[in-house]
Amino acid sequence: MPTKQTALVETLPYAAAQTRSLALPRNGSIHHLDLRLQIQYDVTNGDPGYDEDFLAKLISSLAIRDGQGHTWWACGDGRQLYWWAYQLYQGQVRMDTLATGVNNNLLAEAFFPIHFGVNPLNPFDPTAGIPALDLGQLALEVTWRDAENLVTTAANFAVDSATITVTPAELTGREYQAVRPTMLRPMTRWEKYDIAAAQGELGVRRELPAGIILRQTSLLVLDGDDSRMDYIAGDRDVTEVGLVKVLENTVPFREAWQTLRGRNQGRYGLPAMTNWEGVALVNWGQLAGDVAMDLRTRLPGQDVIGFTTVDTGGDIYLLHHALAPS
């Protein structure tokens, strides 16, 4: 099979509070990307006091765009990508804990797989991919946060260097030509909702993407201090999640936050829920009895995801994973 999975020679370098871009190969179709973040850093004078999920948070946003202004994949925070992948891969996704003792030239890594199809265990899954060969341009864009803003004591911490190495999984040649007519296109959208007020009965309502095939919505709930919501410790930013069909005035799905997470734990073989507080995944295909929920005939605003909220000041990050016909 003409396939290719090799790390790109060029890498995305860290640049505090700036955006860097890396051209992706256009030899066929891209079905999966592995992003490996490596950082070399120094700790001086004592514990810097790292933010939770420091390595994922270092990525402010990420997008894959072509030269025609189309966005193929995007997230508004590196934590969205990491915790979505964490669920898909049974919690076996690397993110190192940074050192607190004084030392120089320390190393840490995090891993961010992006899978476009329905089988994340097959990087060459032909069900969905980006038809890179047909595009004039294709690039991965990463906007970095300033690492010094992610620690309590900036004087105790310095980044020497950081890079993201990108490894794409491509189908090329005859294999690409064979899958191209039926290959679905990835369509990922993200949103951030500020929890300004407590709203009961699924009162917080956000539109689901219309006119597409919706597979999953990954949820990341943050407290007012930008750490993940710790429900077990008493945080109650979100207590329920549901699907509201506005046109029909029905609620076919409504579930307590911890019940949804408990189902996630069993379905995806995840470790103890204390390891991934503030994170959940709505599998729309499971609710629809298929691999996805078909919204191709639905109009914007007819289907919404609802949340019951109690505490205020936090945020809900939504990452919708959808597919579209070619």
How confident is the model over 24-36, as a mean pLDDT?
97
List of E strands, 135-257: 138-144, 157-172, 185-194, 199-207, 213-222, 238-245, 250-256
Is residue 233 very low, low, confident or very high in pLDDT (cuts 50, 70, 90)?
A: confident
Q: What pLDDT digit, counting tens, does each position of 93-119 carry? A: 999 999 999 999 999 999 999 999 999
Q: What pLDDT digit, counting tens, does each position of 45-86 carry? A: 999 999 999 999 999 999 999 989 899 999 999 999 999 999
List of E strands, 269-309: 279-283, 293-294, 303-309
Residue 235 has pLDDT above 90, yes or no: no
pTM: 0.96
Q: How is the chain split into domains, by residue range? A: 3-179, 186-324
Q: What pLDDT is stored for residue 1 in this prediction?
A: 53
What is the rounded distance in angstroms from the CA atom of residue 135 to the CA atom of residue 127? 19
Residue 2 has pLDDT above 80, yes or no: no
Q: 3-179: which CATH topology?
A: Adenovirus Type 2 Hexon; domain 4 (2.70.9)
Domain 186-324 class, CATH top level: mainly beta
